[in-house]
Amino acid sequence: MPPAHESLPRGHSAFAAAFLSLLFPGLGHAYLGAYRRGLGFAAPPFLAGALIAGFAVRMDGPALAGLALQSWFPIAVFIANLVALVYRAVAIFDAWSIARMLGGRAAVSGVPGAPGAQGAGATSAVRQAGLLSIASLGAVLLVMSGIHVAVARYDVLLATTADCIFDPDQAKCALPEATAGPDGEETAGPSDELNPTDEATDAPGETAVPIPPWNGTDRLNILLIGADEQNGGHNTDTMITVSIDPASGQVVMFTLPRDTVDVPVPPGTARNVFGSVYSRKINSYFAAARASSSAYPGPRATRGYTGLKDILGNLYGLDIKYYVEVNFDGFRKVVDALGGVTVNVQVPVLDDNFPQPNGHRERLFVPAGMQHMTGAEALEYARSRKSTSDFERGARQQRIIVSLRQQMDIGSVLKNINPLAEAIGQSVRTDIPRELVPQLLGLADKVDTRSIRSVIFTPPFYQVECLNCPPRGYIITPRIDRIRQAVADAFKIDPAFAEKRDALTQEGAEIWVLNGSGRTGEAARTSEYLSYLGMAATAPIQKPDVAKPPATILRAYNGAETNFPLTLAALQDVFGVEVIPITDPNVRIDFEVITGGSTPELTPPPAP
């Protein structure tokens, strides 16, 4: 009689068969020698995996990410996950059953020492072996179920997050009620306080105005909104319009400071309500538009966004298709979930009176150089404006956006998927259609972040600044023609020239051009040329203190030669003369140009 180990080969245990089937359906059957049956279980998942892999290879990463945000995707994942769960459970149980059956045959064969041999001790051993085998099957099935439960959990997490992003009108994603105070700052309260004739709730059957879809070839404009929703308010303190040229892949970001007033209101129902210009600060327009169904018909949840896109699109001469909004608290959480952000701080920030959430004010200092910031630090860096201008704040906000875009990678996203999904779901809103997301992600992937340009509509070139204009306080008033021309020319001029012009504009030196040569209209033509280069130049009706100098005279007042290095270099390059520094506290301009006999004839190119 052969030894026991020859009748029942070692290793052919029910647990091993079940465990191998856990790794991949059919492996347990191959282990038991049931190759045809194993091939039958292995073929469907292998073919399905090959089909999915082939589909994924033909699509790029952004397109695959866009598919994950479609409304049908979580449902498809749920069904596929459930089918896979049942299929794998059947494969595991089948392999375990065959192993048990083979073990049973060996037991009844009368092999000494084999399970099932005669005797009370042997019966007890068989019973214990059976219980142990069942327990091992349960453990394998439990591990397998845990994997599918995790998939289902993340599937629900993705669905909930996407629903709140693309359908913020749901009760679980509702916006806080807000109104705007007379100084442009909002306060909590019933939103119809701005216009008591408007109803606080939607009229029966009121639906959102449909947005004509982007055709994929025209210039695409998306409004990025940074909202301060503290204390129930809704101040749109950050308004960046991202303009993308699909043909060239160029991107330009236009920022309008929050203190801008007298922005032209588009013709139509909004102008009937607010007048030809919106006299209050532009960061309050969202609340005003949302409170007025007369100005913007449709559901309350969409009025504010519709109004903001409408008035900024009219100012820029653009068709702003969509918006993406992030509130400041959500921004902080998103940055933290990504492990922080590294920013190249070009100008140090010092604010001795920075407001804190607890109502106190503390000193804020951000040194120059590469700085790795937490979410709270990045938010403070982006929001501080007491010691610097609102325009520098706009530049910092654009710098953070670009830095996040450059540093985001799939590893950091997956590692922090739970807090990231929660933060995004609670703070990000958009009206971009889900079906358009794959195309937009593909477009964004082609953009070289190093070539993104930033245009901030700052005084004195793009706006007129008033430090204290009762009763509105600090305000800036837009120069409409210059703003619209800059937007129209964004993709029509050489990128290097545009970058240089943007830098001169942001430096913001004030220049006077005086006619010293006596040639008719020379001061006006010269100032227009300097304006074309991006400098804030004007030609006042004033005689120079030098009559007909042989060459151009360039003067810098009160340290302007040091404070405005880019402007100084540009002026010296244009006129070919050295600067004369002068200290005179009574002079309020930065540079003075007096034309002379050798001043070149300068005229800006005609508008396209």
Average pLDDT, the chain: 80
As given in the structure block, the two tokens for residue 464 are 């007129």
CA atoms within 13 A on the CB side of 495: 10
For residues 214-232, give the mean pLDDT: 81
Q: What is the pLDDT of residues 285-340, one digit of tens each?
A: 999 999 999 999 888 888 999 999 999 999 999 999 999 988 877 788 888 888 88
Give the pLDDT confidence score for residue 493 in this predicted structure: 77
Answer yes or no: same fold for 179-192+212-482 and 509-594: no
Give the pLDDT confidence score for residue 182 in this predicted structure: 39
Residue 193 pLDDT more than 50? Answer: no
Fold of 509-594: Alpha-Beta Plaits (3.30.70)
Indicate the domain borders of the chain: 4-166, 179-192+212-482, 509-594
Q: What is the pLDDT of residues 466-481, one digit of tens each?
A: 888 888 888 999 999 9
Residue 206 banded pLDDT, cuts 50, 70, 90: low
Residue 110 pLDDT more than 90? Answer: no
Residue 222 pLDDT more than 90? Answer: yes
Q: What is the pLDDT of residues 224-270, one digit of tens each?
A: 998 877 656 678 888 999 998 888 778 889 999 889 999 999 999 99
Cis peptide before 460 (omega within 30 of 0): yes
User: 500 vs 506, 512, 569, CA distance in Å?
Assistant: 10, 21, 12
SS3 label, residue 181: coil
- On whether the CB atoms of residues 461 and 79 are closer than 8 A, the answer is no
In the chain, how long is the greatest CA-to-CA distance?
129
For residues 564-573, give the mean pLDDT: 96
Residues 6+ apart with CB under 8 A from 588: 510
- Report which of residues 439 and 92 the model is more confident about: 92
The percent of residues in the chain predicted with pLDDT above 90, rounded, is 28
Strand ranges in 451-538 using DSSP code E only, listed in sequence order: 453-456, 463-469, 473-478, 510-514, 536-538
CA angle 127, 133, 139 (to 5 degrees): 140
Kindly state which CATH superfamily the domain 179-192+212-482 is placed in.
LCP protein (3.40.630.190)
The percent of residues in the chain predicted with pLDDT above 70, rounded, is 78
CA 306/CA 303 separation, integer angstroms? 5
Q: What are phi and psi of 240, to 5 degrees?
A: -115, 120
Residue 352 banded pLDDT, cuts 50, 70, 90: confident
Written in H, E and C, the secondary structure of 218-287 is: CCEEEEEEEEECHHHCCEEEEEEEEEECCCCCCEEEEECCCCECCEECCCCHHHHHHCCEECCCHHHHHH
Give the pLDDT confidence score for residue 327 in this predicted structure: 81
User: 302 vs 171, 256, 430, CA distance in Å?
Assistant: 14, 21, 10
- Report which of residues 523 and 128 the model is more confident about: 523
For residues 156-165, give the mean pLDDT: 75
Residue 190 pLDDT more than 50? Answer: no
Give the pLDDT confidence score for residue 192 in this predicted structure: 33
Residue 430 banded pLDDT, cuts 50, 70, 90: confident
For residues 44-52, give the mean pLDDT: 86
Residue 174 pLDDT more than 70? Answer: no
Give the pLDDT confidence score for residue 195 in this predicted structure: 43
As given in the structure block, the two tokens for residue 216 are 């994929």
Rg (CA), the chain: 34
Least confident of 135-144, 231-240, 371-380: 231-240
Give the pLDDT confidence score for residue 468 in this predicted structure: 85
For residues 279-287, give the mean pLDDT: 93
Taking Cα atoms as reference points, which of 436, 417, 437, 435 lies closest to residue 425? 417
pTM over 0.75: no
- β-sheet bridge partners, residue 338: none
Q: How many CB atoms lie within 10 A of CB 320?
A: 20
Give the pLDDT confidence score for residue 104 in this predicted structure: 59
Cis peptide before 115 (omega within 30 of 0): no
Give the pLDDT confidence score for residue 180 in this predicted structure: 43
Give the pLDDT confidence score for residue 607 in this predicted structure: 53
- On whether the CB atoms of residues 274 and 295 are closer than 8 A, the answer is yes
CA 409/CA 592 separation, integer angstroms? 50
Residue 403 pLDDT more than 70? Answer: yes
Give the pLDDT confidence score for residue 589 in this predicted structure: 94
Give the pLDDT confidence score for residue 491 in this predicted structure: 83
Give the pLDDT confidence score for residue 596 in this predicted structure: 94
CA angle 118, 123, 129 (to 5 degrees): 125
CA 308/CA 295 separation, integer angstroms? 12
Give the pLDDT confidence score for residue 176 in this predicted structure: 46
